[in-house]
Amino acid sequence: MLAKPTLLCAIVAIACAAGGIASAQTFPNRPIRIVVGFAPAGPADVMARLIGQHLTSILGQGVVIDNRPGAGGTIGARAVAESDPDGYTLLLANTSTLVISPLIYKNVNYDPIKGFAAIAALGTTSNLLIVNPALPVKSVRDLVALARAHPGKLNYASAGIGTPPHLIGEMFKQRLDLDVVHVPYKGGGPSVAATVAGETQFSFENPASSLPLVEAGRVRALASTSDRRSSQMPDVPTMIEAGIADFTSVSFTGVVAPAGTPGAIVERLNAAINVSLQSPEIASTLVKLGVDAKISSPEEFAAFLGAERDKWAAVIKAAGVRAQ
């Protein structure tokens, strides 16, 4: 027979579970809020609003987009982590909010793993290794040989310290033991412009912004960081195909809820998001943004998040990266 305190705990647990099942059966019965830790009109905001429109249709309740920009998305993430775990407050999460920022900022005041319940991935974006066309290289191997022949002489641009292009560059340096110099800029636009102008020799850029420049001959694309060739750039090899073993990097976007959100609600949201991702409208928009849609279960998304954190934690530690 259970002791009285243990029996009481069991009764409370059963009551909470029953309450969770009941709430899941009626979910949602009021509007859902998706917090975006970035300014309106950016890629994250566009994706949130597009997904929100489809969730409204599927779930029968309105979806409100709440932009809370600042500190690499951590302001919005913290607000969601502190919200009630009832499925009505969600976070449009990405590589910055759940992986990089918690690793490079001293105090984000939320646990990126324990503070959230993974719901679903939306998509991933790879990067293009581009070089200034005047650089005498035609392949990744050529670039590596040139860097080794002239240590400390080649510069690579990024959108700023701690951004994916910066960390991909650091991984490139570490994997191949290269002496190249990182030059941070204030955003992706100036970073791409620096490589076009020859201020820097190469960079790892978003395909959406760099592909038109490749097509115009203003930069040369050497490789993609994805695990397979892009349908938009079928002639551009992956880094692995270019001879760099196990070199892949993608930035992700997904949806998470506060930790403790009932599993049935998580599954309901996951199913609705996965249906949304299969709509022609979302598919075409994601292609324009350079995003590969990803259908996933909550468990698959959670495993992906853990693997990404382990991967970039090692790169960040080795490079000594800290937010400025």
Q: Work out the average pLDDT over 50-56.
A: 95
Spatial neighbors of 139 by CB under 8 A, at least 6 apart, are 222, 242
DSSP E strand stretches across 74-159? 89-94, 116-126, 128-131, 155-158
Give the span between the Cα atoms of 164 and 103, in whole angstroms.
13
pLDDT in tens, 139-178: 999 999 999 999 999 999 999 999 999 999 999 999 999 9
- Of the candidates 174, 155, 156, 158, the residue with the CA atom closest to the CA atom of residue 166: 158
Give the span between the Cα atoms of 187 and 230, in whole angstroms.
24
Spatial neighbors of 14 by CB under 8 A, at least 6 apart, are none
Give the span between the Cα atoms of 239 and 176, in whole angstroms.
12
Q: How many other C-beta atoms lie within 10 A of the C-beta of residue 244?
A: 20
Q: Which of 109-123, 160-174, 227-241, 244-258 has the lowest mean pLDDT?
A: 227-241
pLDDT in tens, 267-302: 999 999 999 999 998 988 888 888 889 999 999 999
Confidence of residue 120 (pLDDT cuts 50, 70, 90): very high
pLDDT at 20: 52
Spatial neighbors of 69 by CB under 8 A, at least 6 apart, are 36, 37, 38, 39, 75, 76
Q: CATH top-level class for 128-224?
A: alpha beta
pLDDT at 21: 55
Give the span between the Cα atoms of 33 and 322, in whole angstroms.
32
Query: Which DSSP state fits 238?
Result: B
Give the span between the Cα atoms of 293 and 303, in whole angstroms.
17
Angle at 295 between CA 66 and CA 70, to 5 degrees: 25
Tokens of 318: 């080795």
> Across all residues in the chain, what is the average pLDDT?
91
Residue 32 has pLDDT above 70, yes or no: yes
Highest mean pLDDT among 15-19, 66-70, 106-110: 66-70
Residue 91 has pLDDT above 80, yes or no: yes
Domain boundaries, the chain: 30-125+251-319, 128-224
Domains 30-125+251-319 and 128-224 belong to one CATH topology:
yes
pLDDT at 192: 95
Residue 22 has pLDDT above 80, yes or no: no
Spatial neighbors of 173 by CB under 8 A, at least 6 apart, are 179, 180, 319
pLDDT at 23: 61
Q: Work out the average pLDDT over 40-54.
A: 92
pTM: 0.87
Q: Work out the average pLDDT over 255-266.
A: 98
Which CATH superfamily, name and number, covers 30-125+251-319?
Bordetella uptake gene, domain 1 (3.40.190.150)
- In DSSP terms, 157 is beta-bridged to 183, 203
Query: Which DSSP state fits 296?
Result: -
Residue 179 has pLDDT above 80, yes or no: yes
Contact predicate 67/38, CB 8 Å: yes
Tokens of 62: 């309105």
Give the span between the Cα atoms of 279 and 226, in whole angstroms.
24
